[in-house]
Amino acid sequence: MKVKCNVLDRQFFQYQQEYEEAALRVLRSGWYVLGNEVKQFEEEFAAFTGRKYCVGLNSGLDALIMSVRALGIGQGDEVIVQANTYIATVLGITENGAIPVFVEPDEYYNIDADKIEAAITDKTKAIMVVHLYGQASNMGKIMGISKKYNLPVIEDCAQSHGACFDGKMTGSFGISGCFSFYPTKNLGAFGDAGAIVTDDKDFADKVRMMRNYGSRIKYYNEIEGLNSRLDEMQAALLRVKLQHIKELNQERVVLADRYTKGITNEYIVKPEIRNGANSIFHQYVIRCKDRSNLQKYLEEQGIQTQIHYPVPPHLAECYERLGHKRGDYPITEQYANEVLSLPIYTGMTWEEQDYVIEKLNTFKNSMNKGEINDFKS
SS3 127: strand
| pLDDT recorded at residue 346 | 96
CA 245 to chain centre: 16
| pLDDT recorded at residue 365 | 76
Q: Which amino acid is at 67?
A: S
- Whose CA is closest to 19, among 181, 236, 208, 203? 236
Predicted confidence (pLDDT) per residue in 155-213, tens digit: 999 999 999 999 999 999 999 999 999 999 999 999 999 999 999 999 999 999 999 99
CA 216 to chain centre: 30
| pLDDT recorded at residue 199 | 98
| pLDDT recorded at residue 376 | 43
- Whose CA is closest to 56, among 235, 286, 201? 235
Residues of the chain with pLDDT under 50: 368-377
| pLDDT recorded at residue 367 | 58
Domains, the chain: 9-242 (3.40.640.10), 245-376 (3.90.1150.10)
The pTM (predicted TM-score) of the whole model is: 0.96
Predicted confidence (pLDDT) per residue in 5-57, tens digit: 999 999 999 999 999 999 999 999 999 999 999 999 999 999 999 999 999 99
| pLDDT recorded at residue 377 | 33
| pLDDT recorded at residue 366 | 67
- What are the CB-based long-range contacts (under 8 Å, 24+) for 361-368? 361/262, 361/263, 361/264, 361/265, 362/265, 363/265, 363/267, 363/268, 363/294, 363/297, 363/298, 364/267, 365/267, 365/288, 365/289, 365/290, 365/293, 365/294, 366/290, 366/293, 367/289, 367/290
